Structure 1
Amino acid sequence: MAEPEFFHEVAGQLDYPMIIVTAAADGERSGCLVGFHVQCSIDPLRYLVCVSTSNHTCRVSARTEHLAVHFLDESDYELSLLFGERTGDDVDKFAATAWQDEHGAPVLTETRAWFVGRVLERLPLGDHVGHVLEPIVGHVDGPLHQLGFQQVKTMKPGHPA
């Protein structure tokens, strides 16, 4: 089936916010830059994060009960490069940034806003896996000027999306 060019044309112009998702399981940490995410319920509170199946993070997140979601500010561009252009197959990204453990998930302490969510369900979504999260703990430190897709779309990903 041919892919609809009109959709790629319009989607490439959107400026949806970028996040970093991190996970840890069996002594292995991983994290990646993610554009596909959304609050999907108010009551009960739920958040959907979609991770590419080609990503190292997808393999780690399949074995964990909690994920950390980090909302990026424009000042987090360098951090987005670390988690967007490097792969956990080759490098320990956490050696290059400050982090702390929250419910077994590595939280990047440099980010202004984050939450840890309990994984309630995993959904196969083509070339991504959707993780339905129940936020359980988080932190916000002041206003957020979101880092958007248009600021990172020329990045060379560690793995194809």
Structure 2
Amino acid sequence: MTDDAFGGLVAALDPPLIVVTTAVGDEQAGCLVGFHAQSSITPERYCVWLSKANHTYRVALRADHLALHFLAEEDLPIAAHFGTLSGDTVDKFADLPTERGVGGVPLLAGWPNWLVVRRSALLDEGGDHVCLPAEAVAARHDKPFTPLRLSQAGHLQPGHGNEERHDPPTERAAR
């Protein structure tokens, strides 16, 4: 197998993008995610893969709940906000109105399509992302949407490279 063959196959999938948010105590975190999928119909389960380089990953290690905000094509600015800034140095929620959801997760105020999940496990196979299988506990679907896809946001420069690794606790939590 070649890297080109693998890359070509997965690039053709063009996954929809979501913003994942979570919190532990007063520490909030959020990031742009392209690796996510429904994993069971009954019971309702969803998996999210978080980069080990991200501040959100390190907060999610200590969190029970995550909020998944489904992005529409017109949501590129929020994708850029959560995808290009690093939560290690910037409070991504400072200028964004939020509401508290189940388990204390920050929900983007008025967001029309979201899912809150309770983390049930963590699977780390040694790659640059970890899988968080989770149980759906709350949802909102107010309007149909055409998902924002990776190909539409591929020009964004991530706040961290996939080769970066950090040790918990997070830098902001240590201050």
Aligned residue in 1 for 2:40? 41
Q: State the Cα deviation string for residues 102-138 of structure 1 (Å, max 9, x = none).
A: 1211111243200111111111141111111111111
CA distance in 1, matches of 2:152, 2:110: 19
Aligned residues: 160
Letter in 1 for 2:106: P
CA distance in 1, matches of 2:59, 2:80: 20
Superposed displacement of residue 10, structure 1: 2.8
Identify the structure with the greater strand proportion. Answer: 1
- State yes or no: 1:112 paired with 2:117: no
Letter in 1 for 2:5: F
Q: Which secondary structure state, in structure 2, belongs to the residue aligned with residue 12 of structure 1?
A: helix
Aligned residue in 1 for 2:26? 27
Superposed displacement of residue 3, structure 1: 5.6
Superposed displacement of residue 140, structure 1: 1.2
Q: Which secondary structure state, in structure 2, belongs to the residue aligned with residue 151 of structure 1?
A: helix
RMSD: 1.4
Structure 2: 5+ residue runs without aligned partners? Answer: 163-175
- State yes or no: 1:144 paired with 2:127: no
Work out whether residues 73 and 111 of structure 1, in 8 Å CA contact, stay in contact via their aligned partners in 2: no
Work out whether residues 114 and 138 of structure 1, in 8 Å CA contact, stay in contact via their aligned partners in 2: yes
Aligned residue in 2 for 1:127? 128
- State yes or no: 1:154 paired with 2:155: yes
Letter in 2 for 1:50: W
CA distance in 2, matches of 1:69, 1:151: 19
CA distance in 2, matches of 1:159, 1:3: 26
Instruction: Work out the percentage of aligned pairs sharing the same amino acid.
Output: 41
Work out whether residues 14 and 149 of structure 1, in 8 Å CA contact, stay in contact via their aligned partners in 2: no
Letter in 1 for 2:108: L
Superposed displacement of residue 47, structure 1: 0.1
Letter in 2 for 1:115: L
